[in-house]
């Protein structure tokens, strides 16, 4: 299989974009004392709460965060120590651990969401909805080629956007 110049340029650009977004988010999250992974987990737990689900379970987060149970357990343990979330054993099934955001976690999510929202707006400000849709379809094909279910967690996209906008207004 031959790699074309165009393939390589796209590959490098995808990495560069990922690196730049990660670098920006890390600088933002450093100010709020939360890691990128912790922010994403706070956002996911908040989404469960927004959907009026009693609370998220660690096993619920695996497909959304694309992480193993062990990895999520370690990250959430650090989040408990930092006071961002609480772990609560389910009353009907003691094996199940539910996650709840604390008031500190909610404030951290709010503080970290504002600059993240600004970045999203800045990145996509000059694109029409048609261009955004085309870009999304292009990226979905890449994920398809990697045999990744890019739909995991996306069924709630509108709810996430509404929640982020609400956090941004507070």
pLDDT of 17-56, one tens digit each?
999 988 888 888 888 888 888 998 998 888 888 876 667 8
User: Could you tell me the pLDDT band of residue 92, with boundaries at 50, 70 and 90?
Assistant: confident
Q: What is the pLDDT of residue 165?
A: 66
pLDDT(158) > 60: yes
pLDDT band at 163; cut points 50, 70, 90: low
The whole domain housing 127 covers 5-169
Classified as helix, coil or strand, 101 is strand
Per-residue pLDDT at 152 exceeds 60: no
Q: Which two tokens stand for residue 32?
A: 């709020």
Least confident interval from 47-61, 82-96, 106-120, 155-169: 155-169
| Residue with the larger pLDDT of the pair 126 and 68 | 126
pTM assigned to the model: 0.75
Amino acid 103: pLDDT: 95
CATH number of domain containing 127: 1.10.10.10
What percent of the chain stands above pLDDT 70? 85
Number of domains in the chain: 1
């Amino acid at each position: 299989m031959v790699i074309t110049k165009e393939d390589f340029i796209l590959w490098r650009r995808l990495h560069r974009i990922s690196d730049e977004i990660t670098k920006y988010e890390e600088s933002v999250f450093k100010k709020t004392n939360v890691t990128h992974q912790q922010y994403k987990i706070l956002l996911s737990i908040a989404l469960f709460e927004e959907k009026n689900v009693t609370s998220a379970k660690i096993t619920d987060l695996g497909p959304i965060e694309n992480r193993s149970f062990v990895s999520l357990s370690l990250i959430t343990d650090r989040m408990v120590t930092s006071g961002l979330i609480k772990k609560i054993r389910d009353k009907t099934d003691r094996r199940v651990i539910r996650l709840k955001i604390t008031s500190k976690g909610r404030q951290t999510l709010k503080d970290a969401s504002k600059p993240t929202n600004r970045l999203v707006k800045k990145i996509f400000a000059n694109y029409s909805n048609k261009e955004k849709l085309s870009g999304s379809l292009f990226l979905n094909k890449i994920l398809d080629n990697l045999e990744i279910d890019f739909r995991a967690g996306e069924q709630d996209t509108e709810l996430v956007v509404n929640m982020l906008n609400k956090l941004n207004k507070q």
